[in-house]
Structure 1
Amino acid sequence: MLLPGDTETSLSWFPVIEPLSKNFRTYAIDHVFDNGRSVYSKEMSRPTDFIDWMDEVFDLLGLEQTNLVAYSYGAWQATLYGLAHPDRIERLVLLAPSATVLSPGPVMRIRAILYYFLPFRPVARNYFYWYGAEAVKDSKLRARVDEMVEEDLLSRRCFKKRKFVPPTCLTDAQWDSLQVPTLFLVGENDRTYSAEHAVDRLHRVAPTVDARVASNTDHYITMSNPDWVVRNVLGFLRENRIAERANVRAGNDTA
């Protein structure tokens, strides 16, 4: 299952969806409370609401257990779900999660506040360009970022303004209690927080989490470095399949 970031839809997985789906049945879903065609009956007001919603999605799709790959704001929600229902997650992949590992710095907070409360093209463009500093160096990717700006402005005009639930930073105890095999991927130039400091913290409080950093990569990790993302995600998920086959063979040998 693929879970997008804030203000994004399942279409945001376009750069990586084909290779990720080649050997896996893949569900790319929209956030029920965000942009897209979903209509929510209850407003999200606290972190536990996301856990309840994802539980409903799993039940509706008939998924007893699955691999969960999530990006940015969605990665924070996925981590909360992994903590609450580890029995329903085989493997968890966190792509540049919002907060979760480290709280955003003051520069990030100020820029986000300006972007949120000033829905004007120059403000939005400045914010997206700053967040995707590596992506905009490429003319084709810069054109895609420009499209993201226009889509963002359009969504603000068309959708009802919703309450934003700020992502939280997990405590040491929460990270230590995470039972799901987890892969953490982040770009070295992510503006949300220092990638180096995030990896250092995970090594200290959650040494079982596989943390990897992509060079010359910003927060738009699936867009600025899709091949690296696909290679690392599939390698991590295939490890699980290899382990399952080994367990099956071991069981047959014992029988």
Structure 2
Amino acid sequence: MKGRPVAKIGRFKSDKARAAYMSAYDDMAALSPIPYTGRDAETCFGTTHVHTFGSGSGTPLVLLHPLGGNGLCWYPVIEELCRDRVVYAPDTIGTAGRSVQTAPITEQAQFGVWLDEVLAGLGADRAHVLGFSDGGWHAAMAGFHQPKRLASLTVIEPGGVIVKLRWSALFQIMRFAIMPSKKNMTRMNEWVMPGVPISEVEMRAAKASLGYQRHLPWGTVFEDTDLQSITIPSLWIFGGESEIVYPAEAAGQRVRAHVPQAEVEVYPGLGHGLFFANADRVVPRVQDFLRRHDR
């Protein structure tokens, strides 16, 4: 009789792969416009490394990074976000970075458990959480399953979980992933994140991240009942010309119809990368929302 498959954990493929990634990761520190500190939070899934920025009396904010990113990727917006509050930027467990996964995550709900334990490890009884792209649905998982510490939820461009990812978009992503040359990765960034240039060190980190074996569940389209279960204040932001969340208006309408305390913004003419490419418009909207729900 065959036994049940053994659940796997994320890890670098080799010491060489880890060294290559960490070299680029350490160089990314120079991109931050402000100083920060690093610390670890222990969870039942492993050790999570967290970057801490800023200070102030506002309720702390946790940032959950997109696919291929890490806790240092927020440098274009971090100075504004932490003007009146502490901002925590973890390396998501099970992804390339300084976090070390020791137990598998096999269910989407476990992302909520993970984040709750990170907040407990940081001593944060209350926090806002903001997730972008892949981090958006990680944040939503916390809103569904572990909202007790959350003051609010901000979800920006969560691909494939409000409306289905188009086959044409999936094909494009697969086409670039099959041959991850510098040219193809640059083209993919231009397609997915228009208006967001990728620096040389970020390119190095992106290429080196391919040396990490990820074993995490992927996002699936939320059921109406999932959305209805988000009862904390939430802000949902979409780009009207996004290649990842399409059609954006349909996504916004679905959130409005089913999430009880949702505020929804669809920005016409802006793409998936609007949080960075159009920070002058989007970040003030986020800050206003956070301040109204500080407690």
Shorter-chain-normalised TM-score: which range?
A: 0.7 to 0.9
1:47-196 matches, within 5 Å, as: 47-133=108-194, 135=195, 141-142=196-197, 144=198, 148-156=202-210, 159-193=211-245, 194-196=247-249
Distance 1:123 1:231, change over 3 A: same
Kept after mapping to 2: 8 A contact 1:2/1:68? yes
2:291 is aligned with 1:238: yes
Q: Which moved more, 1:40-49 or 1:169-178?
A: 40-49
**What is the root-mean-square deviation in Å for CA atoms of aligned residues?**
2.0
Q: Which residue of 2 aligns with 1:198?
A: 251
Secondary structure class of the residue paired with 2:276: helix
For residue 46 of structure 1, report the CA deviation from its aligned partner.
2.9
For residue 81 of structure 1, report the CA deviation from its aligned partner.
0.8
2:265 to 212, 215, 234: 212
Identify unmatched segments of 5+ residues in structure 1: 136-140, 245-255
Q: Which residue of 1 aligns with 2:15?
A: none
Q: Deviations over 1:62-87 (max 9, x none)?
A: 12221111111111011011111222
Secondary structure class of the residue paired with 1:13: coil
2:72 is aligned with 1:11: yes
Secondary structure class of the residue paired with 2:287: helix
Secondary structure class of the residue paired with 1:186: strand
Distance 1:147 1:104, change over 3 A: farther
Q: Which moved more, 1:205-214 or 1:87-96?
A: 205-214
Distance 1:46 1:34, change over 3 A: same
Kept after mapping to 2: 8 A contact 1:91/1:182? yes
For residue 185 of structure 1, report the CA deviation from its aligned partner.
1.0
Rounded to whole Å, the distance in 2 between the matches of 1:110 and 1:96 is 19
TM-score by length of 2: 0.73
Kept after mapping to 2: 8 A contact 1:3/1:28? yes
AA aligned to 1:165 is: P
TM-score by length of 1: 0.84
Kept after mapping to 2: 8 A contact 1:182/1:209? yes
Rounded to whole Å, the distance in 2 between the matches of 1:190 and 1:170 is 19
Kept after mapping to 1: 8 A contact 2:113/2:146? no
